[in-house]
Amino acid sequence: MKNIIVGQSGGPTAVINGSLYGVVTEGLRQTDAIETVFGMINGIEGFLNDQVIDMRPLSENGELERIRTTPGAYLGSCRYKLPEDLTDAVYPQLFEKFSDRNIGCFFYIGGNDSMDTVSKLSRYAASIQSDIRFIGIPKTIDNDLVETDHTPGFGSAAKYVASTVREIAIDASVYDNKKSVTIVEIMGRHAGWLTAASVLARKFEKDNPVLIYLPEVAFDQDAFIEKVSTALETTPNLVVCISEGINDGNGTFVCEYASDVGVDNFGHKMLTGSGKYLENLVKERLGIKVRSVELNVSQRCSSACLSAADLDEAVCAGTYGVQAALLGETGKMVSFQRTNDNPYKLTYTTADVNNICNKEKGVPLSWITNDGSDISEDFIRYALPLIQGNVEVPFENGLPAFAFRR
């Protein structure tokens, strides 16, 4: 009988706690193999400072059910990178702590960087012939992990983006007798998956968002202004969606055109985003009403637009991870394989974590159309199943009731 331990790492999502729920529930269910489930507070960094809690009481007092629909990382997160050098003193230190707590399996819920942690720990374990198993549970709204059809967290973020862009388009259209441009800035520094999801807001041809720009294609300001100008002729209240990471194709982000330059009248340096920059550009070049909206952190923490499909898969990823570890797998990430689009069918498997960490998967260039300003039907077919179904979040006194550590 061994214990297992689970941690969360990197930026939070709306369903990362769903995966935590999956790991803990399945861990406690496997009573013939697992004694209890520990949680690391603030990931591997907190674990090094012995910040560990027993998850069993949360299952018994009902808090675990609430954790399932709570956004953010219940256990807290970290951005701690383990040393490349496996002979570093931190490794024996960690494994002594694993041994002290009789840990048999280690689960880390996160993105690329977190998979790097899983890779290093499993390689170190192999080097000392430790039988502790290390499994990564994928998580990121960016959807940029390789070796998996998609990642938990993306579906809910995509649903948030598409719903919100549809609402912003409605808001923009109330003065439909006056031309206007609304620029919506969406998260995604290097991969445009989430920005691409804004296309789902479109209800008919030439409906908003008419123009969509991803970081995968070089951004040309003059071509952009021309597209905006043309689009305004048929869509007087134009909505344009852009990734925060749009760039000139040579490594310079559009937002960098604006940063490090503005200084307010108290001498404070003003920083700004790509959306704000383009707002000013359109205003100056076309002289019409422009506003920009940065969707910001709600993309990764809104519980109002949870996708039932996404939450369900996040939970299953945790469950499947525990089962894979008990079957002896290590150095693996839980991976989604889509076996059919319509009806959508998904199977769970594992992939070598060493092929995943520190890599990023962008939107296929063939899915980006109209000189880099639109998204193809292929993407829509790919993304639609991931945003299906709504989740009933518990409410108290008019507001969503979330789990939190005291």
Confirm if 249 and 403 have CB atoms less than 8 A apart.
no
Confirm if 386 and 155 have CB atoms less than 8 A apart.
yes
183 near its own copies, judged by CB under 8 A = no
Q: Which is nearer to its own copies, 303 or 330 (CB)?
A: 303
Rounded to a whole number of angstroms, the CA Rg of the chain reads 23
Residues in the interface with its own copies (CB under 8 A) total 75
399 near its own copies, judged by CB under 8 A = yes
Return the sign of the alpha-carbon dihedral for residues 330, 333, 336, 337: negative
Residue from 265, 282, 266, 183 nearest 229 by CA: 282
326 near its own copies, judged by CB under 8 A = no
In a 13 Å sphere around the CA of 231, the CA atoms on its Cβ side amount to 24
Return the sign of the alpha-carbon dihedral for residues 30, 42, 144, 152: positive
| Residue 60 backbone phi and psi in degrees, to 5 | -75, -30
290 near its own copies, judged by CB under 8 A = no
Other C-beta atoms closer than 10 Å to the C-beta of 262 total: 12
Of 103, 183, 200, 238, which one interacts with its own copies (CB under 8 A)? 200
Q: Which two tokens stand for residue 34?
A: 């697992």
Q: Which is nearer to its own copies, 130 or 272 (CB)?
A: 272
275 near its own copies, judged by CB under 8 A = no
Taking CB under 8 A as the criterion, which residues in 69-128 touch its own copies? 70-73, 76-79
Of 85, 88, 131, 284, which one interacts with its own copies (CB under 8 A)? 284
Q: Which is nearer to its own copies, 200 or 210 (CB)?
A: 200
Q: Which is nearer to its own copies, 1 or 271 (CB)?
A: 271
Q: Which is nearer to its own copies, 172 or 356 (CB)?
A: 172
175 near its own copies, judged by CB under 8 A = yes
Q: Tell whether residue 338 is among the known ligand binding residues.
A: no
Taking CB under 8 A as the criterion, which residues in 27-66 touch its own copies? 42, 45-46
Q: Cα angle at 201 between 200 and 204, to 5 degrees? A: 90
Confirm if 43 and 76 have CB atoms less than 8 A apart.
yes
Query: Coil, strand, or helix at residue 175?
Result: helix
Stretch that binds its own copies, among 118-126, 335-343, 353-361, 381-389 (CB under 8 A): 381-389
Q: At what angle do helices 112-127 and 90-100 cross, to 10 degrees?
A: 80
Task: Check 113, 116, 142, 312 and give the catalytic one.
Answer: 142
293 near its own copies, judged by CB under 8 A = yes
Q: Which is nearer to its own copies, 210 or 281 (CB)?
A: 281
Q: Tell whether residue 112 is among the known ligand binding residues.
A: yes
Residue from 190, 5, 37 nearest 109 by CA: 5
* 374 counts as catalytic: no
304 near its own copies, judged by CB under 8 A = yes
Cβ within 8 Å of residue 380, ≥6 positions away:
199, 200
Q: Tell whether residue 331 is among the known ligand binding residues.
A: no
Nearest-approach distance from CB 304 to its own copies, in angstroms: 4
384 near its own copies, judged by CB under 8 A = yes
Other C-beta atoms closer than 10 Å to the C-beta of 263 total: 10
Can you say which residues are annotated as belonging to the binding site for diphosphate?
11
Which positions are annotated as active-site residues?
A: 142
Q: Which residues are annotated as a binding site?
A: 11, 112, 140-142, 187-189, 244
